[in-house]
Structure 1
Amino acid sequence: MLSKHHDTFITEDDIKQIAAAGVNTLRVPVGFWIIGYDNYDPTNQREIEAYSPGTIMYLDRLIRVWAMKYNVAVLVDVHAAKGSQNGNDHSSPSTPGQILWSEKRENIANTIEVVRFLAARYINDEAFLGIGLLNEPRGNVSASLLYQYYLDAYQVVRSTGSDCVLTIMSMLDSKNPMELAGFMPMPRYKNVWVEWHSYFIWTYENRTNKHLVEVDVKQDYQEKMTKWNAMTDNNPLFIGEWSFASPSNMLLNDPELFYEFAKAQLEIHSQAAKGWTYWTWKLDVKGNKLDSWSLQRLLTDDRIAKLLRNTL
């Protein structure tokens, strides 16, 4: 079942379409099991055996064949760390909602080994851009252990000889990258980007559509972006995840305001020094109906496609 999914969900044609749309960077989520071993399992939980084996070959093909053929860069994101860093389904917690990543040293040690492995494996691959060190840490994850992990992971990756990009995130619940202002500053730390996930759906449920566009995006989001860019000691900003999704699904209910919403977001995202990657490319749902969670489907709308291409 999983082999069929891996073989058919994302194919070479998807990468061809992405490149044709003008997108030059792919952010690819992976789980800790991708490296195929766990040297840090003193409790002998053998968690790695619960997940899909052999998936590294798909990442190899993407980075070494398809990305090279279509001239796109690949950022590999640690989306599911051992123990789970956020308890959500996309971080594969052994028990739904449970966040154990920073509770056990073996989990952090395993994550460091994952990023070391990835950096060493792809050190000579031109299409390999770098690694997202940890996706959306939140909840009871220790902030001090998180930041120490970033420092330790940086040293381990650099010890391989790789100067690849490394992205770091603040705690998800803060909804603001300012927690990382001045952390791991240039030039002491090379190729470190601050990753921010900018969504206007969760916690925005009580807004009117007009308020969401005119105040939350055009004013508040712009203010945060301007503030970050004005600070000379900050690392460059990368919008690692965002979408056109909104609480009321403006795409279907108010097409004109949706277009304004989309345009406003893109204008501000374009101010991030290291650009953006959309969440997500495609959905595992049949049909061609426009959906804010699928960039592939949005590109079938000429007006939206033109808007996107004009900002790339």
Structure 2
Amino acid sequence: MELIFTKWVSAFLLCCCLISSKAFSVEGILGDDKVRGVNLGGWLVIEGWIKPSLFEGIPNGDMLDGDQVQLRSVTLQKFVSAENGGGTGVAVNRDVASSWETFRLWRVSASEFQFRTVLGQFLTCDAFGCSATAPSPSNSETFFVERKDNRVHLKLKTGAYLQATCLEITSLQMAMERMRQLVFIRHGINTVRIPVGWWIAFDPDPPAPFIGGSLEALDNAFSWAQAYNLMCIIDLHAAPGSQNGMEHSASNDGTLEWPNSPAYISKTLDVIDFLASRYGKHPAFLGIELLNEPSADLVPLDTLVSYYKQGYNIVRKYSSKAYVIICQRIGKADPMELYEADIGSHNLVVDLHYYNLFDPFFDHLSPSENIEIIYKNRQTQIQALNSANGPLVFVGEWVNEWNVTNASQADYQNFGRAQLEVYNAASFGWTYWTLKNDKKHWDFEWNIRNNYLQFGDSPIRAVFNCGLWVALACAWFPHLLFML
């Protein structure tokens, strides 16, 4: 059920009669317990798949940041091509479109766009002609798109039109999640992990295409958390230049530039400094995750370790107790590499993300085979890391979903029970991805209410047996919807 609020929103169940596990404990958690919570995905870093309706009614909604388009002259019946993939001239001479004829969009407004080549240069035009040589976009690389269905004219800021008589535009993929609206959704156990983007440090006037408001919302979240004995983990989900090329990591078009730019890394550390200085002494501040899901293929380990060490030292300037969380590289990377890196001396946590998705290996596994992986692979890894001399273990993202066709409710219950049993043993704890989602099995509340995710005798079961409801007030932001 969806509700739209104008002034306040209410939250969900929270029970304070948690059962403590004494094998490990986390400082600051009510009852000296471990972290058991949810992610607020889709709140301050919007991902359209979590709430697709947020993208309804956007002008030129099939032309957002990262969309790939091809341009063809209606008269010549030839495609526009960036010769050699970019860096040289532009021609209208191709019968068939491939990579050189494909441009990634940077959206400036509903009618203004910039076109990036496969090699990273931008389409640029002046009085002398056009080329694909601009390393970064400005006025000469910005085009007004006059559109009727899939027919377009491209006009420069000067008023001159790009001539290939008339162009057809073909969209190659659905839009990457770029619209920066603000949604507040909250349901807690004892902790919430809150993904934020780097632009939060520049609120209330962040650079385009980001919008303001996220910092005020995060301030409110800390106030509510303090009032109701919850703890907050700030997760830097989106770094400048993108740490993995994914749509939720602040990449305009899927390009990963963060590890190759000292300026981007320095800017990211400035964001950590901003967040740590603002919240380091707050009673509801449990910790900060320095970077979400850096790519194992494209982020070198030494670059990442250097960044983590600097980030750890920055946090320690403002708090001696806050947990500093370092995310393992996604892809084929061993989390033990972070244990061997000597990043920090105390209250350091390694974040593992466990999904039985996103890898062809899982595509044809049966329910029992999926569950076997939880016990044989994941449990073994968590036990080994728990025993290692180093950081605590955190399963920062997991979900009760898999690539099993026509799974029964009992199958989902068994899968969820296995994950809870194994992840409950992590020395720092876990947070589910995510609180609310249009995809039912990703939606924490839906799983609980519909009995797909059961807690058995695990400590979390007490949360839903106590029956204590907590109402949270959320300040209204003009022009933005708060959706549950």
**TM bucket by the smaller chain?**
0.7 to 0.9
Q: 1:118 to 1:220 in 2, by over 3 A?
A: same
Contact 2:435 2:445 (C-alpha < 8 Å) held by counterparts: yes
Task: Tell me what 1:23 maps to.
Answer: 189
Task: Tell me what 2:220 maps to.
Answer: 61
Cα distance in 2 for partners of 1:255, 1:230 equals 35
Distance apart, 1:58 and its partner CA: 0.2
Letter in 2 for 1:77: D
Cα distance in 2 for partners of 1:47, 1:62 equals 20
* 2:440 aligned to which of 274, 291, 294: 291
Q: What pairs with 1:118-267 in structure 2 (closer than 5 Å)?
A: 118-138=275-295, 139-174=297-332, 176-184=334-342, 189-203=345-359, 204-214=362-372, 216-231=373-388, 233-248=389-404, 253-267=407-421
Cα distance in 1 for partners of 2:294, 2:462 equals 29
Letter in 2 for 1:112: L
- In percent, how many aligned pairs have the same letter? 30
Letter in 2 for 1:69: A
Cα distance in 1 for partners of 2:321, 2:425 equals 24
Letter in 2 for 1:296: E
Distance apart, 1:179 and its partner CA: 2.1
Cα distance in 2 for partners of 1:150, 1:306 equals 35
Task: Tell me what 2:72 maps to.
Answer: none
* 1:102 aligned to which of 259, 263, 269: 259
Distance apart, 1:53 and its partner CA: 1.6
Distance apart, 1:266 and its partner CA: 0.5
Contact 1:281 1:294 (C-alpha < 8 Å) held by counterparts: yes
Cα distance in 1 for partners of 2:10, 2:228 equals 10
Q: 1:306 to 1:13 in 2, by over 3 A?
A: farther
Task: Tell me what 1:42 maps to.
Answer: none
Task: Tell me what 1:13 maps to.
Answer: 10
Distance apart, 1:171 and its partner CA: 1.2
User: Does the alignment pair 1:310 with 2:461?
Assistant: yes
Q: Deviations over 1:44-63 (max 9, x none)?
A: xx983321123100000000
User: Deviation above 6 Å: which 4+ runs of structure 1?
Assistant: none
Contact 2:364 2:404 (C-alpha < 8 Å) held by counterparts: no
Task: Tell me what 2:208 maps to.
Answer: 49
Distance apart, 1:118 and its partner CA: 0.7
Higher strand share goes to which structure?
Answer: 2
Alignment partner of 2:194: what SS? strand
Distance apart, 1:248 and its partner CA: 1.7
Contact 1:196 1:240 (C-alpha < 8 Å) held by counterparts: yes
Cα distance in 2 for partners of 1:59, 1:293 equals 23
Task: Tell me what 1:3 maps to.
Answer: none
Distance apart, 1:70 and its partner CA: 1.9
Letter in 1 for 2:321: D
Task: Tell me what 2:238 maps to.
Answer: 80
Cα distance in 2 for partners of 1:27, 1:58 equals 14
Cα distance in 2 for partners of 1:198, 1:303 equals 18
Cα distance in 2 for partners of 1:83, 1:154 equals 21
Distance apart, 1:222 and its partner CA: 1.5
Structure 1: tracts of 5 or more residues without a match: 1-6, 38-45
Q: 1:176 to 1:271 in 2, by over 3 A?
A: farther
Task: Tell me what 1:4 maps to.
Answer: none
Distance apart, 1:161 and its partner CA: 4.4
Alignment partner of 1:206: what SS? coil
* 2:429 aligned to which of 275, 281, 304: 275
Alignment partner of 2:10: what SS? helix
Task: Tell me what 2:19 maps to.
Answer: none
Query: After alignment, is 166-175 or 264-273 more displaced?
Result: 166-175
Letter in 1 for 2:10: D
Distance apart, 1:19 and its partner CA: 5.5
- Bigger RCO (CA 8 Å, 6+ sep): 2
Contact 2:293 2:330 (C-alpha < 8 Å) held by counterparts: yes
Contact 1:28 1:74 (C-alpha < 8 Å) held by counterparts: yes
Cα distance in 1 for partners of 2:381, 2:271 equals 33
Q: 1:258 to 1:264 in 2, by over 3 A?
A: same
* 1:116 aligned to which of 273, 295, 306: 273
Q: Deviations over 1:123-181 (max 9, x none)?
A: 22101111100000003122211110000111122123453111002211136422222
Cα distance in 2 for partners of 1:35, 1:238 equals 26
Instruction: State the superposition RMSD in angstroms.
Output: 2.6
Alignment partner of 2:252: what SS? coil
Alignment partner of 2:242: what SS? coil
Contact 2:350 2:391 (C-alpha < 8 Å) held by counterparts: yes
Higher helix share goes to which structure?
Answer: 1
Letter in 2 for 1:310: R
Cα distance in 2 for partners of 1:202, 1:72 equals 32
Q: 1:19 to 1:85 in 2, by over 3 A?
A: farther
Number of equivalenced pairs: 284
